[in-house]
Copies of this chain bind each other. A is one copy, B any other.
Amino acid sequence: MKHILTVAAIAATAIIPVPSACLAADIQSPSGTISLNAEVIDGKPTYSVDFKGKAVILPSTLGLQLADGPDMTDGFVLTSVETSHFDETWHPVWGENASIRNNYNELLLHLDQPEHYRKMDLRFRVYDDGVGLRYEFPQNGVLTYFIIKEELTRFAMTGDHTAWWIAGDYDTQEYDYTECRLSEIRSKMSEAISSNASQTQFSPTGVQTSLQMKTDDGIYINLHEAALVDYSCMHLELDDSNLVFTSWLTPDAQGNKGHQQVPCHSPWRTIMITDNACDILASNLILNLNEPCAYEDTSWIKPVKYVGVWWEMIGGGKQWSYTHDLPSVKLDKLDYSTTKPHGLHPANNENVKRYIDFAAEHGFDQVLVEGWNVGWEDWFGHSKDYVFDFQTPYPDFDIDMLNEYAKQKGVKIMMHHETSASIRNYERHMHDAYALMQKYGYNSVKSGYVGNMLPRGEHHYGQWLNNHYLYAVTEAAKYHIMVNAHEAVRPTGLCRTYPNLIGNESARGTEYEAFAGNKPSHTTVLPFTRLQGGPMDYTPGIFELDMKKVNPESQGHVNSTLARQLALYVTMYSPLQMAADVPEVYNRFLDAFQFIKDVPVDWQESRYLEAEPGQYIVAARKDKASDNWFIGCTAGENGHESQISLDFLDKNRKYEATIYADAPDAHYIHNQQAYVISKKKVDAKTRLKMKAAPGGGYAISVKPIN
C-alpha cells in the first residue's frame, strides 16, 4: 500500500520575476513565527532567519567550492523567485504519530552565475518550527558533472549559545555529549573524544549534527540535515571567534567531498527553532523534508520488540567466536572440525532455544543472535576483505532446527550481519545472505560496520558509503527484509521514504554502559539530537545495572536506575525495541519487566510533556492499537520533579495507571535497583506529581478500565 494522503496537498505557486533593483525575497512560516530573508549581496547568496521577531540566524552566505571548476560561491544574480504554500497530512508506516502534518511556505530562488554560464537554485521551506534549505542544480545550465571541494553553507549565530555536541568525526558518532558554550568547544574538544574502533576527527572546533543549542533568552536551535541521499554527510565547523558554523562534508579517498551529476540537489540543511524544548522533540521537520514512501506495498514492514543473544557478550564476557584455536582465519579454508570450542559461545542451540522460549513466554516478536556465523575468531582490525560470508553457521548453531523451533513458538530469529566495514565483501554476499534469510523466514537484520572502511581511504559518512547503506536497504526491501544498521551514517529521516530502515545505531548506545559508561544525562540529550533523524536501536532494559555483578572483570556501570530503563521505551522512540538484558535477570524482576512486556512499539499519538536537554524528558504516547497510554521520564544527574497533567486522556473514560517509579532513595550510582510499583485510578483531570532520582526516571502505563 502506498502512502495515502488524508488531506489533499494544498499548493499554490506564484512565479515572480525579479526586477533588477530587487535582489531580496522574504517568506514567513504558515503562522508567522519564523521569517526568512534571502538575497544576493555582492554576488553572494545570503540568508537570515528570525523567530518571533528576533534574529536567530544572522546573514549567512551559501555556496560551494568545486574541485574541478570555478567556485559557486559568488558572481550570482537572482533572476526570479517562486513562492508556494503546501499543506498535507500523511501517514507513516510506523512512527510516533499515526498522522503527520506537513505545512510550509516555500521560497525558490533562481540564480544565474553569468560568468560561468551556470545556474543554481536555492529552495527554502519555512515551517512554524524551523527551516529547510537546499541547493538545486538544474539541467539547463552548462554544468553537467561537478566535484565538490567543500560546501560552504554558513549558520551565523547571534550569541555564545549553550550547545550539546559531539566531536566532528568521519567515522564514528559514538561519543558522549558535551554541554558547554560555543566558545568553550575548542577547550573541551580533547576530553570530548574517547577512543573508537574507527575514528577521524578533522578540527578542534568541528562538531556533528544534529547539534542542539539554546540561546540565553530561551530559544532552542537545532542544526541537522534531512534526506541525505547520494551526497556526503555534513559536519559543522565552528569559527569560534565569530560564532559562525560552516558546513564541512566528509571526504572521499581522494579528499574530494562529492561527485555530482545534474539535475541534482543537496540534502536539506535544517534549522529547527522553538522557544520550548518540547517542541523540538515533537517536530516532524526532518521527516517532512524527506520524500514520501517509495514502496507500493509496506504490509511486510512491522515494528519489532525483541530479546537477544548479545548482552552476554557485551556485558557478560562471552564471545561471538567459537574457539581460541584460530587467531588468523581464512574463510575459504576454514575448518572447525579440529578446533576446540572455548565454551564461551552463547550463540549455541541450547542457549538460543532458551531465548526463544523466553521470547515466546513473554510475547516478544524476535530473538537476535549475534555470533551465529563463522569467522568471528579474526574479524576486526586488519583491513580484511573476505571477513564473513553471512551464510555459514557455527557448528553449534543449527540454523534449520532453530528457525523451525522458533517458528513453532511463534517467534522469529533476527539475523545479524556484521560487515567489519568490508563493503565490497558484503555487497558480494548480500543477495545470497538475504536469500538465506528469506528461505528461513528471517524478516529483519541487524547489520554492523565496525572498523576502518574498505574501500580503503573511504569514510563511514562519505558519499560512497551513504550510497551503500541505502543500497543495502533498498535491496533488502526486494526480499521484504527490515534493516537496522549499526555504525552506518546518522539518519536524516530516510525512514519516511524507506520504512524498512527500521533502526540505526549512529550514536553511543547502551553497550557503552558496559564499557566506559554513558553520562547520566545521555538519554536526555539523544532525543534532541540523534533521534531527530530517525529511530535508534538504543537497546535499553538493563536491570542488572552494576556490571561487576555480571562480570567481575567489568569496568562498566550502567549510569541509570532500573526505573529509568523502563522509561526509555517511551522516551527513546523506536519501532524496534530490545529488552537487552538476559532472561535470568528479567526472571528476578518480573514485576518491573511487565512494563517492557506491555509497552508497544508503534503509536497513535505522542506528546512531550516536559523537557530540557541534559536535564530531563517526559513523554506520553498512545498505543496505535489500543487506548492505552504510556508515560516515560528520563532524568540526568539532578533528577527531576514532574508535575504532569493527564489531560490527553479520553475525557469520557477512566483509567488505571501502573506507576514504576524510583524509590525515594534510588540513585544511579549506588542504589539503582530501588523501585516502587504502584497502581492508581486516573482520568483526564488527574495531575501527577512524580519524582525521578539522580540518573533515574519513571514509567507509567495507563489503561482504560471502562
Contacts and interface: CB of A to CB of B under 8 A. Distances in A.
Interface in A411-457: 424, 427-428, 431, 455-457
Given A327-B144, A424-B427, A428-B427, A456 B261 contact: no
Interface stretch (A10-18, A379-387, A595-603, A660-668): A379-387
Contact of A139 (B262, B328, B456, B464): B328
Contact of A457 (B147, B253, B261): B253
Contact of A253 (B144, B253, B328): B253
A107 B141 CA distance: 67
A382 B69 CA distance: 13
Contact of A330 (B261, B456, B457): B261
B384 A261 contact: yes
B254 A382 contact: no
Contacts of A427: 424, 427-428
Contacts of A253: 253-254, 455-458
Contact of A252 (B254, B330, B456, B471): B456
A37 interface: no
Contacts of A458: 253, 455
A427 to B, nearest CB: 6
Contacts of A262: 328
Interface in A371-397: 382-385
A145 interface: yes
A457 B261 CA distance: 20
A48 interface: no
A261 B328 contact: yes
A425 to B, nearest CB: 10
A118 interface: no
A161 to B, nearest CB: 38
Given A254-B253, A261-B384, A384-B261, A328 B455 contact: no
Contacts of A471: 428
Interface in A126-146: 139, 144-145
A385 B144 contact: no
Copies of this chain, whole number = 2
A607 interface: no
A615 to B, nearest CB: 44
Contacts of A431: 431
Interface in A456-474: 456-458, 464, 467, 471
A318 interface: no
A421 to B, nearest CB: 13
Contacts of A382: 144-145, 259, 261
Contacts of A456: 252-254, 256, 464
Given A252-B456, A253-B455, A457-B457, A467 B328 contact: no
Contacts of A327: 144
Contacts of A261: 328, 330, 382, 384
A76 to B, nearest CB: 22
Chain B CB within 10 Å, residue with most, of A259, A262, A456: A456
A259 B424 contact: no
A259 B387 CA distance: 13
Contacts of A139: 328
Nearest to A139: B328
A491 B146 CA distance: 35
Interface string A307-348: 000000000000000000001101000000000000000000
Contact of A259 (B144, B383, B428, B457): B383
A172 to B, nearest CB: 19
A5 to B, nearest CB: 24
Chain B CB within 10 Å, residue with most, of A139, A253, A256, A455: A455
A375 to B, nearest CB: 13
A53 B570 CA distance: 86
Interface in A257-272: 259, 261-262
Nearest to A455: B455
A342 to B, nearest CB: 19
Nearest to A145: B382
Given A427-B424, A427-B427, A427-B428, A254 B457 contact: yes
A529 to B, nearest CB: 31
A327 B457 CA distance: 31
A467 B256 CA distance: 25
A455 B252 CA distance: 9
Interface in A215-237: none
Contacts of A383: 145, 147, 259
Given A144-B328, A261-B384, A456-B464, 5 more contacts: A253-B455, A254-B457, A261-B328, A261-B382, A262-B328
Interface of A: 139, 144-145, 147, 252-254, 256, 259, 261-262, 327-328, 330, 382-385, 424, 427-428, 431, 455-458, 464, 467, 471
The 7 closest A-B pairs by CB, nearest first: A455-B455, A253-B457, A253-B253, A145-B382, A144-B328, A254-B457, A254-B456
8 contacts: A144-B327, A145-B328, A145-B382, A145-B384, A254-B456, A259-B385, A424-B424, A455-B458
